[in-house]
Structure 1
Amino acid sequence: MESVEWANDDHVVRALQAMERIIEDFDSQYTEKFWSALEQDGYKRDPETKRLVLQSPRVRLAEEGALANLTDPSVIKSHLSRIHAAVEFDPELAIGSAKELIESTAKLVLTERGVAFTKDDDLTRLTNRAAEALNLRPNQAATDGPDGGSGVKRILGGALNIAVGVAELRNAYGTGHGRDRRPSGLGSRHAHLAANAAYLWCELMLDTLADPKAPWRKEV
């Protein structure tokens, strides 16, 4: 158990398969509880191969890429784990956590770039300033190479609107606000939409922060 890398899906699956073999000889009530608990965390046994698999991909950022140069990536990992656990079973929490992932990423970028912010800064201001700190606003794009092309500029403009969209979705449906009733019509597809949108925005920001050849480094 001490050798298991719990952030590695392959390691986790192998460890759980070992646990499964251990409890096979126990009463069926224990095995039923075992599978029920695993399904709540996104794992399921393939009926044909009998192998344990993830029901949906774990949302995460590359350890050797996007998170590599962060002083402390633990807050990002915490949000990603929370989103993964909630995306199938608690869309409100997944949407709320997606917004928090974007907010934390923006603050981490500003901190790494030495740009001050306050507790009163809203998400729009934080994300705009974080993008500006990395030269990711369309009007800051380089004049040559792919970063200066119209394609990249269009993608950047769309990506920067993602944060606003996730914030609006969270305000209407996500956790973080006391409500007098649960929102109707909300499902896992909405949670996946918010999670993947937040993932795209955060990966863009953190990949750019970590890239040794990113345009913003020319100013350093």
Structure 2
Amino acid sequence: MTVIARRDLVSPGTRNAFRSLATDLTVRTVAELWEGHGFAPVAPEDLKYSDPGQRRTEFMRYAEGVDWADDSHVRRALLVFEDYIRTYRDPDEEGTPRWLEDIKVRLGRDGYHLNDDGRISWINPPVLMRDLSGLNDPSGILVELERIRRDLTTDPQGAIGAAKQLIEATAKTTLRELGVVVEKNRDVPILVAMVHKELRLDAASAPDGPDGSKAIKKILSGVINIAVGVAELRNQGFGSGHGQASAPAGLGVRHARLTVNAAVTWCELILDTMTDPSAPWRNSRSGDGPTLPETRTPAP
């Protein structure tokens, strides 16, 4: 299994700034702010942080239980941080206090915006909100998601290239999880067709019910065209991966967003179908090769 480094979505410096706020709160308040968003403390023997301050230690008992590289964990943790700001801030204080300005700068470096009401939002949000823990090895998908996150608003050509590679990585990961051997250099249209066949998302093998309805078949046909179109756009020189004599003229962020959103539509369909315990493909493969485990709920 290939292991890749997962980037923390909130830096240690930003987390430390919020930890400092706990110094002036009660231990009970520190715990309640975390538990209000579904987080649980790590066991005392598992706590790596050492500090004589009881409140800061209580903060870290919860912070160490957060997967800071996981989108869903971080979204909830940001809600906790919003509550910390509202709880700590003096409502009668005029202007922006220095501690809040420091937090705003730190969040900005991490890719977040803190508005005047204390709301934290993603400047460049994740594009694929799916739990990948049910996959044996999601590293190929994670690499492309990180590329998209990095390039979407700064390098449209790079984002388009990563969108095509996200489709390719999702297709290859799906087929590997299903025990299907894939030739190394298969083109994206062939990979997409193979995935749809294995998951019974093609017209020929769709079962009765909603999956086999004419409307769903039309939608699935469109989704296949979307995936193939993303690959064609990249291959026509609008995406990274091929050296060009001249940079593509007129390519902008809107083209990158269109392409990335198109790629994500297809990838979410495939991942949702893979992790659906009642998806038709599971019945067709029972007793015939491995099946993917059902979706796991991330631990808080």
The residue matched to 1:79 in structure 2 has which SS? helix
Q: How does 1:87-166 map to 2 (within 5 A)?
A: 87-142=152-207, 144-166=208-230
Q: Which residue identity is paired with 1:49?
A: D
SS of aligned partner of 2:113: strand
> Which residue number corresponds to residue 21 of structure 1?
none
Q: Is the 8 A contact 1:5 1:12 kept in 2?
A: no
Which of 49, 52, 55 in structure 1 is aligned with 2:117?
Answer: 49
Go from structure 1 to structure 2 and tell me whether the alpha carbon gap of 1:195 and 1:14 turns closer, same or farther (over 3 Å shift): same
Structure 2: 5+ residue stretches without partners = 1-11, 13-62, 85-97, 286-300
**Does the C-alpha gap of structure 1 residues 125 and 34 become closer, same or farther in structure 2, counting only changes over 3 Å?**
same
- Distance in structure 2 (CA, Å) of the matches to 1:52 and 1:59: 17
Are 1:99 and 1:170, in contact at CA under 8 Å, matched by a contact in 2?
A: yes
Residue identity over aligned pairs, in percent, reads: 42
Tell me which residue corresponds to 2:130: 62
TM-score where L is the length of structure 1? 0.81
8 Å contact from structure 2 (residues 140, 173) kept in 1: no
CA drift of 1:97 comes to 0.6
2:250 to 177, 180, 185: 185
**How far apart are the structure 2 equivalents of 1:33 and 1:50?**
13
Aligned counterpart, 2:234: 170
**Following TM superposition, by how much is the alpha carbon of 1:44 offset from its aligned partner in structure 2, in angstroms?**
2.5
CA distance in 1, matches of 2:181, 2:232: 25
Listed as ranges, the matches of 1:27-42 within 5 Å are 37-38=109-110, 41=111
Return the match for 2:273 from 187, 190, 208.
Answer: 208
CA–CA distance in structure 1, aligned partners of residues 145 and 153 of structure 2: 14
- Per-residue CA distance 1:64-105 (angstroms, 9 max, x = gap): xxx243111232222222212211111111111111110011
C-alpha distance in 2, partners of 1:186/1:93?
Answer: 11
Is 1:5 aligned to 2:74, yes or no? no
Matched residue SS, 1:109: helix
Residues in 2 aligned to 1:96 and 1:149: alpha-carbon distance in whole angstroms: 34
- Whether the 8 Å CA contact 1:138–1:154 is kept in 2: the answer is no
SS at match of 2:204: helix
1:140 aligned counterpart, secondary structure: coil
Post-superposition offset of 1:49: 2.1
- CA–CA distance in 2 between the matches of 1:212 and 1:127? 22
Amino acid of the structure 2 residue aligned with 1:197: A
The separation in 1 between residues aligned to 2:75 and 2:185, in whole angstroms, is: 41
Residue identity opposite 1:170 in structure 2: R
2:88 corresponds in structure 1 to none
Q: Distance in 2 between matches of 1:52 and 1:101?
A: 28
User: Counterparts of 1:79 and 1:85 in 2: how far apart (Å)?
Assistant: 10
Moved more, 97-106 or 166-175: 166-175
Q: TM-score, normalised by structure 2?
A: 0.61
